[in-house]
Amino acid sequence: MIIMKATAKANTNIALIKYWGKRDETLFLPMNSSLSITLDHFNTITTVEFCKSFDKDIFLLNNLPASDKESNKVFRFLDKVRNLAGVNLHAVVSSENKVPTAAGFASSASGFAALAAAAAKALDLELNTKEISILARQGSGSACRSVYGGYVEWKKGIQEDGKDSFASQLLSEQDWKISILSVLVAGEQKKVSSREGMKRTVETSPFYAGWLQTVEKDLEDAKEAIMSREFEKLGHVVEANALKMHATMLGAKPPVLYWQSGTMDVIHHIQYLRLTGIPVFFTIDAGSNVKVLCLPKDEAIVYESLLTLPTVQKVFICHPGSGITYLE
Amino acid sequence: MIIMKATAKANTNIALIKYWGKRDETLFLPMNSSLSITLDHFNTITTVEFCKSFDKDIFLLNNLPASDKESNKVFRFLDKVRNLAGVNLHAVVSSENKVPTAAGFASSASGFAALAAAAAKALDLELNTKEISILARQGSGSACRSVYGGYVEWKKGIQEDGKDSFASQLLSEQDWKISILSVLVAGEQKKVSSREGMKRTVETSPFYAGWLQTVEKDLEDAKEAIMSREFEKLGHVVEANALKMHATMLGAKPPVLYWQSGTMDVIHHIQYLRLTGIPVFFTIDAGSNVKVLCLPKDEAIVYESLLTLPTVQKVFICHPGSGITYLE
């Protein structure tokens, strides 16, 4: 029995300039370019095995059969890889997801990056990193950024087929070490998925045009700050960009509000710390948790002070991490 | 000694469709039309006395000399009234302000409405209510709405001289009784004044165009709901309009964020109450406090439940109230 098998590991990433809105729902083509840091914790390790003898696809998540909804996303993605390879083999996909829901990070970024890499390698597709990025994007948009380590830009591209919509590395994880603290706040689980929030914003918010008008400039400013290692310049643009993304949602019909009271507590605390002279900034994804950026020298004091807030439940500390690695 | 004297009382008002942005800073001409309810509490009673023998203007606030900043605003306003009357007399203005800062309402609306009415009457200007509205607007924009009782619309107008920018009554305070609860939340005083927040938004927010594109439609929807006494229809548009106003500020450079953790607690609590079947809605002005709208039959239960939130400090209950009244 011939089994075509590969295992890959990918880290999740945190967007500094946000991806918000699709121009193509099937190919996961974004309305705007974005920029992220791939993190050194919270990864997914995925093994893909193709075999002629398998009569159906199977997806195991943390050694258990995944839900139909999650399985179907994986199977539709396998179809794209099979298409590329011109084969018609079923697969067993086994993922170990080390992105705890509690950490407030999406696991789809690391999940589809690892799956794209492992599936392509199992079928001997010999894709380069750019091609893996394009493939991963078709599972989950932000996954195309997790293919690379460090500081990563995802250029939106303009082609209809998405061949020019992929990520590339700006700086490696060794080039500039900063600290990213993921702050988990009390409150309810989010009621509107990112996918739905994004869609509703694009379709109904009168502010979406303003977002698109300014986000590419934000990205240029952030890139400049990263290339010249200007932390404060980066922090200000990152914070403003996150607030703008949330503002676009407040204009949607009906409005989308992801913030909880703890979100405000952390925001005001960060602004207070900044008044005391510590260069520290925040960003917020489509949810209530806050990600805090600071310099490694201030990491301990920022960590300790965040834990004093009654609405803060947990704080995870990360740093820039690597892109895809192949195991075995 | 001839003293020309009059006393007027005006109530403050709460905007349901917000006034946000000036097209003329001197004449207080707004970028958009707005809609408010004049309240039955929180008023200002102002006596104006003009006399040849006075050699300067004096402004007493709650029986004490007011600050230079506040006094100068009143004196510049008196200049406009003197201009209208073609006289050159100094005045003593004595205001009793019953809008506690703690109630989270601006006192400038009731303040300049009462001052406009009293000063005009003292000088026998014989202005009609529309003309008093135009005059009051030149002290503080929202003051033009406090001239009328009940449900009031302020049409922005298009003329450069502001002669077509004044308020009018949609429904009187007797026509439709609803409950307005002003919810005071814990947290810091606001750091950015409404005037500055408004200006920064107009000048720097990429979302301001989207605000202007949709606010007149919001106003039409709100007017329709008021005229047909459809409370839920009114509530939804009021809530969405407030969130949009705050969204425009989040896009300003630097961003303006008035919300505190208590603001989020009240918002989520109102949304929760709505899920239990109570028609209850919120609006938020340029600050952290929340104003809650409900029907009088639900007033007690909404009041009690708001007081259970740890971040709520106090709740004031109001109803639609009257416009300007003359005393003595």
Complete edge-to-edge strand list for the sheet that includes strand A179-185 = A280-283, A290-294, A179-185, A312-318
How far A168 CA lies from chain B's nearest CA (Å)? 28
> Nearest residue of B to residue A264 by CA position?
B261
> What is the rounded distance in angstroms from the CA atom of residue B229 to the CA atom of residue B215?
20
| Per-block mean pLDDT, blocks of 10 residues, chain A (328 long) | 95 97 95 98 96 96 94 97 96 92 77 98 97 97 98 97 98 98 86 92 98 98 98 98 98 97 97 97 95 98 98 96 94
> What is the rounded distance in angstroms from the CA atom of residue A39 to the CA atom of residue A322?
7
Q: Are B183 and B289 in contact (CB under 8 A)?
A: yes
Within 8 A of A253 by CB-CB distance, chain B residues are 240
Within 8 A of B257 by CB-CB distance, chain A residues are 243, 267
Q: Which residue in the set B211, B239, B255 is minimally distant from A243, CB to CB?
A: B255
Q: Do B264 and A267 touch (CB under 8 A)?
A: no
Residue with tokens 């809105």: A21
pLDDT band at B159 (very low <50, low <70, confident <90, very high): very high
Residue with tokens 């980066």: A234
Percentage of chain B exceeding pLDDT 70: 99
Q: Which domains are assigned to chain A?
A: 3-175 (3.30.230.10), 179-318 (3.30.70.890)
Within 8 A of B246 by CB-CB distance, chain A residues are 247, 250
Q: Which residue in the set A213, A244, A265 is minimally distant from B250, CB to CB?
A: A244
> What is the rounded distance in angstroms from the CA atom of residue A96 to the CA atom of residue A44?
6
How far A145 CA lies from chain B's nearest CA (Å)? 26
> If we measure between CA atoms, which residue out of A168, A169, A154, A200 comes closest to residue A19?
A154
- Please check whether residue B239 touches A, CB under 8 A: yes
Taking only the tens place, the pLDDT of each residue in B225-264 is 999 999 999 999 999 999 999 999 999 999 999 999 999 9
- Please check whether residue B86 touches A, CB under 8 A: no
H helical segments located in B147-282: 194-204, 208-227, 231-250, 261-275
Does B152 have pLDDT greater than 70? yes
